[in-house]
Structure 1
Amino acid sequence: MPHDNASGVLFDVDGTLVDTTYLHTVSWWEALRQTGQPVPMATIHRAIGMGSDKLLDHLLGPERDHDADSRLRDAHNTLYGEYWERLEPLPRAADLLRACAERGLRVVLATSAAEHEVGALRRALAADDVIDTVTSSADAQESKPAPDILVAALDQAGLDAARTVFVGDSVWDVAAAGRLGIPCVGLTCGGTSRGELAGAGAVAVYDDPAALLDGLADSPLAAPR
């Protein structure tokens, strides 16, 4: 899609708008335990936000035997799928999306969740009426911290990076945005601290969608460049 003069906001979803970070952590922990490769939950949590390929490299090392990777992914997907009907949005997430749309911003869910997970996330958010574009892992050749999913989101929404802000909850989100020169607003509701997000380069940090909504008029989302 050709870019126009619209301004927009790209949102990560897992851990940013929907409360799933620890569900993914527990699901990976159990999948790894089942295959005899236990990893502490705190270590897994710090890797959430990467794609599964990079996450497994990060946790198990790139020189590992990759033959078990598909079994690990399948186990994670099965375990995580048990939560789909119980997913909860983070505080006032849908209100934040609507407030951005009311300001004339194009609202984009720049998620690298698998296509079969995206429907569950959208149902939890219940804000389809103001969402312009939604990506999935199928849109990115390489996962975060590579910026592929953000490039796909910009292209599909017809947005220019210079008129866009990204909102995410992990250092991997901040890194991906930084590679495109997009300011990233960090939220701590995914379990990553204010100091870590700011240290990674987040231009502002808030507790959760509700806190960002309360401060929206003075936030980087008020006037993307």
Structure 2
Amino acid sequence: MADDDVVDADAALVAGQKPPSHTERLNRERVVDAALTHIDEQGLAGLSMRRLGSTLGVEAMALYRHVAGKEELLDAVVEHLMASMWRDEEITQEPVHGWQDFLQRLAHGVRRVALAHPKAFPLVASRPTEAPWLRPPLRSLDWVEVFLRGLTEEGFTDEAAVAAYRAFTSFLLGHLLLEVSLRGADVGPLDVLEPADDDASLDGFPLVRRLRPGLSEDRASVEFEESLESLLDRLTLVRTEHLER
């Protein structure tokens, strides 16, 4: 048997488990995919190298040939999430129908990542970046470059493009962290408690009690669209102001 056909030595078996075939060779991609699946299904808190190794049918030590430890694994999950946007056919890597359409497509692309992996998305906000001054959720130099290039090609000055970048990322992060928290993500202070069975706690707050149905309504999609439109209107003014200087 050729060396290429030999199962990777990393796949040191957990006692009693069936050996994986050569088509299931352990590699970094499999490790990261398994970690993301675990987070999607069980949340971030329960992820450990031991549990991940058990899922993959190997000893935990076998994982360290592909990731240096849990911290690097989490960084790799973020990289995986951001890389998935390159395969999103709805996102354009340069303005095709103007800068507003360009930003709308990019914003919706990030939102699709967040909604596809709500329990993993908070990592995008918390993990270290390629450069300390990068702002989430555009967590890669590649995507920041795409963003800035797209706007400067559409007539934004450097200063206006930076202002747009700050406003765009702040809008996205704030909205999406709140949205994924409603879908079970652990986002610390933004954790959403399960609603009580009654509204006894609203005694003394008649307006809140009366408007509770509207206040508790899930309008995430509508609010996302409305906020994005408002942001684009604001950036139009920013662009014009800098061009007139």
TM-score computed with the length of structure 1 as normaliser = 0.30
Q: Report which structure shows greater RCO (CA 8 Å, sep ≥6).
A: 1
Structure ranking higher in helix proportion: 2
TM-score computed with the length of structure 2 as normaliser = 0.28
